[in-house]
Chains A and B, each alone.
Chain A
Amino acid sequence: MAKSTTQTQSAAAKQPQRKWDEVVETGKRTDIPEGLWLRCPNCAAMVYRKSLEQNLHVCPECDHHMRVDADTRARQLCDPDSFEPMWENLVPVDSLNFTDLKAYKDVLASDRKKTGHADALVCGKGFIKGRGVMLACMDFRFRGASMGSVVGEKITRCIEMGIEQNLPVIIASCSGGARMQEGSQSLMQMAKTSAALARLDDAGGLFISLLTDPTTGGVTASFAMLGDVIIAEPKALIGFAGPRVIANTVREELPEGFQRSEHLLAKGFVDRVIHRADLRSEISRIIDYAGK
C-alpha cells in the first residue's frame, strides 16, 4: 500500500487538482470496484473507503480534510445515535419561478434525490461528549449548500431554540453563499439569521461557528462570521468573494494560501484551526469554559 501510494503521489503531482466526486467517477472508468477505494483529491493516494470513514474522512496519507455531507458531519460531531434532526418537513418553494439553463424546480428535485434531503441544511438536537447542543450542518451536495429561505428559517429556528432551552448553538458551515434562485429573499436570510444571533448574544448564549471547506459569500458575511468562538478546519477556503471573482477584479495572482483557514487565523478572523479528530473534545472544552 505504502509503495503504491508513493507511485500515485508522483503521478498526481502532474495532474490538476480534482474534486472528490470527479475522482469517484475515475474509479468507475478503471477496474477498481466502485466506491471501495477512493483517491485523495490532494495527494492522490488510494484509500480504502472503510479506513477513510474510520479516519473521519481525513486522508491518512496527507491529512487532507475531505468534504463531508451533513449527515456524516452530524454523526462525526455527536455522541453515537444522539443526533435528532428537526424541521425536516420544511421544503423550498420556487416563489420566483426561476429558470436559468435549468428550472429551479427541477434542480431542487434532483438535489433532493441525490441527497435525500429537501434542502441544504440538517439541524436538530444532539449531544457532544454528553453536552446537549443545537447543531446545524450544511450540505454542499445540495445547491452548493447555498442559503435560501429554508436554510435561513431552519438556522433561525435552531438559534431560537438554543435561546429558549439555553443550549449552545453549533453551526458547521460550508456554502457557496446566498441562493440566487430565491432572489432578495435569500439575501434577507443573512439579516434574519444575524438578528437571531443578536438575540442569542443578548441572552448570554454561546454560538460556536465551525467553518469548513468551502465557506463563502452570504453565509460567511452573516452567521458564519458571528461566532462567539470561530473554529476552522485545516486549509478550508473561507472568504466573502470567491477566489476567481477576486482574481478577475484585481487582475493579479492571489497570494499563496490566501483565504485558507491558516491565513485567516494569522489575520485574526478565526479563533482556532482544529483538526477534525479533535473537534469533539475542543468544542466540549469551549462549552465548559462558557459554562453552558
Chain B
Amino acid sequence: MSTATSSTFELDFERPLIQLENQLAELENHADETGVNINAELRKLRSSHTAMLKKIYGKLSAWNTVKVARHPDRPQSVDYIRMCFKDFCELHGDRRYSDDNAIITGFARVGPYKCMVVAQAKGKDVKERIKCNFGMPHPEGYRKAMLKMKLAEKYNLPIVTLVDTPGAYPGVGAEERGQAEAIAYNLQEMSRLKVPVVSIVIGEGGSGGALGIGVADRVAMLQYAWYSVISPEGCSSILWKTGDKAPEAAEALKITADANKKVGVIDDIIDEPLGGAHRNKELMGDRVQKWIVQNLRELKRFKVENLVSKRYDRLRVIGQYGEE
C-alpha cells in the first residue's frame, strides 16, 4: 500500500496527515534499504494515519469539501475516460464556431454498453489548464456537447456526462456568442433526448455551467464534490459584499452531496476512498464505472416515452414552496 501522495500540494487541513504520510514513506524507505524489521512501528503509524483520515474526512466542512473538490490531484474527466471507458473515440467541434477544449466529447464503451461521453475538462498542468480555460466552457462548448448528444440520440446510444466546472466562462466573446442561449438550449433539449442520460458531478458543479450538461435521468455526485447555484466566492461577494466569506457562503448554500441528495437535486452519492478521490484514483474509477453501468442497465429497460416523461417528473418535483 502506498500512503504518500505524489503532489507537493497541501490542503491546509490535511497538513498533519501529510506529515504523517511523509514520515511513513521515509520509514518504509529506510526499512527497504537497511532490511531492519520495523513492521510493528509501521503498523502503528499506519493505523494512526487511518484514524486521522477518518477523523478529518468524517466531518469535512462545506468549505473544506470545496477544497477537496478542487484538489489539483483529484481525478478529472480525462482520468475517468481512461479508467472507466474503453476504446474512446473523441469527436471535436461544434460545427458552428470552434472546438472548445473545456468540454470533451466522444464515443466510448463502458462495461457492455456503447455510449457517448460528454465531459468537462480542467487540465492538469499550466499549459493544459489554459487550453481548457480552467474548465470554464464557452457557448461553443455547450453547442458541441448538444451536437454530440443528438448524434448519440440518432444511433440510440446512452449518454454519460461528467460535470466538473467552476462555471460557464463570463467573458465578452462568450456573451456575444450567446452563453445564456447555449445553456438554455441544452436544458431544453436534454430534457427530451430519447436515450438514457446519466450524469456525475465529479468535482465542481458550478451553477448553470454545470447544469448545461447535467440534465439527466439519474444524477450522482462524488462524496466530496460540490454542486450549487453559485460558487461560494461569487455568493460571498454578492450577499456578504466581500470576497472573503466563501466558507460561510459554502455552508449556507448547502453545496455538499448529502445536502443535494436531501432536496432531490441528485439521486445518488458515490462514496470516495478514505481521504478523498485523490488518495486512490483507481478505486474511485472502479466505483464510478460501476455506478454508470448499473444505471445504464436499469435505464435501458425503459420504453422511450416512459424514460422522457420520468425525466420530466424527476425535475418537476424539485423545489419547495408553501401554500397559504
B184 contacts across to A, CB distance below 8 A: 190, 194, 220-226
On chain B, the residues within 8 Å of A189 by CB distance are: 318-319
Let me know if A89 and B252 touch, CB within 8 A: no
> Does the CB pair B172–A183 fall under 8 Å?
no
B175 and A185 within 8 A (CB): no
Residues of A within 8 A of B315 (CB): 188, 191-192, 195
Any B CB within 8 A of the CB of A132? no
Given the interface pairs A93-B322, A180-B238, A192-B315, the reply to whether A187 lies near B208 with Cβ below 8 Å is yes
On whether the beta carbons of B240 and A101 are closer than 8 Å, the reply is yes
Q: Which of A9-17, A19-27, A59-67, A247-255 is found at the contact surface with chain B?
A: A247-255
Q: Are B180 and A246 in contact (CB under 8 A)?
A: no
Residues on A with C-beta less than 8 A from B249 are 100
Query: A184 near B323 (CB under 8 angstroms)?
Result: no
Stretch of A32-40, A134-142, A197-205, A282-290 that contacts chain B: A197-205
Query: Does B260 sit within 8 A of A, measured CB to CB?
Result: yes
Contact A194 B318 (CB under 8 A): no
Query: Given the complex, which residues of A lie within 8 Å of B212, measured CB to CB?
Result: 221
Complex: chain B residue closest to A90, CB-CB: B321
B323 touches A91 (CB 8 A): yes
Q: Which residue of A lies closest to B249 (CB)?
A: A100
Selecting from B6-14, B104-112, B119-127, B226-234, the interface stretch reads B226-234
Set B175, B235, B312: member contacting A259, Cβ < 8 A: B175
Partner of A190, one of B169, B175, B211, B312: B211
Instruction: A258 to B173: give the CA distance in the assembly, Å.
Output: 11
| Contact present for B324 and A240 (CB under 8 Å) | no
What residue in chain A is nearest B248 (Cβ atoms)?
A100
How distant is A145 from chain B, measured CB to nearest CB, in Å? 15
The answer on a CB contact under 8 Å between B229 and A183 is yes
Q: Are A240 and B180 also in contact (CB < 8 A) when A198-B188, A255-B172 are?
A: yes
How does the 8 Å CB contact mask read for A78-116 relative to B, with 1 for contact and 0 for none? 000000000001111101101111000000000000000
Q: Are B181 and A225 in contact (CB under 8 A)?
A: yes
Are B254 and A90 within 8 A (Cβ)?
A: no
Write the chain B residue with the least CB distance to A187.
Answer: B229
Instruction: Give A192-220 as 1s and 0s: 1 = Cβ < 8 Å from B's Cβ atoms.
Output: 10110111011000000000000001101
- Tally of A interface residues using CB under 8 Å: 64
How close is B250's CB to chain A, nearest CB, in angstroms?
11
Distance A194 CA – B190 CA, assembled complex (angstroms): 10
CB nearest neighbor in A for B226: A184
CB contact under 8 A between A96 and B191, given known A186-B229, A267-B178: no
Shortest CB distance B164–A (Å): 16
B316 with A246: CB separation less than 8 A: no
Hey, which chain B residues are within 8 Å of A99, CB to CB?
252
Q: Chain B CB within 10 Å — which of A89, A180, A223, A250 has the most? A: A180
Residues of A within 8 A of B192 (CB): 195, 198-199, 202
Question: Is A192 touching B318 in the complex (CB atoms < 8 A)?
Answer: yes
Is A118 a contact of B324 with CB atoms below 8 Å?
A: yes
Q: Which of B170, B187, B239, B252 contacts A191 (CB 8 A)?
A: B187
Interface assignment of A149: CB less than 8 Å from any CB of chain B: yes
Nearest-neighbour CB distance to chain B for A236, whole angstroms, equals 14
Q: How far is the CA of A272 from the CA of B234 in the complex (A)?
A: 33
A233-262 to B contact mask, C-beta < 8 Å, 1/0: 000000111000110011000110011000
What residues on A are CB-neighbors of B234 within 8 Å?
A: 245
- Which residues of B have CB within 8 Å of A241? 170, 174-175, 179
* A179 touches B (CB below 8 Å): yes
**Are A250's CB and B229's CB within 8 A?**
no
A269 within 8 A of B: yes
A91 touches B189 (CB 8 A): no
**A181 to B323, alpha carbons, bound, how many Å?**
19
Say whether A185 contacts B211, CB under 8 Å.
no
Q: Would you call B323 and A192 a contact (CB within 8 A)? A: no
Interface centre among B181, B228, B241 (most CB of A within 10 A): B181
- From known contacts A91-B323, A188-B265, infer whether A258 and B175 are also in contact, taking CB-CB under 8 Å: yes
Known A-B contacts: A186-B229, A225-B180, A258-B175. Give 18 more (CB < 8 A). Answer: A90-B323, A93-B320, A96-B254, A99-B252, A153-B319, A180-B230, A187-B229, A188-B211, A189-B319, A195-B187, A220-B184, A239-B175, A241-B175, A245-B170, A249-B170, A255-B172, A258-B176, A269-B178
Show 5 A/B contacts (Cβ-Cβ < 8 Å), sorted by A. Answer: A96-B252, A185-B265, A188-B315, A191-B315, A221-B208
Closest 3 CB pairs of A and B: A149-B319, A241-B170, A195-B191
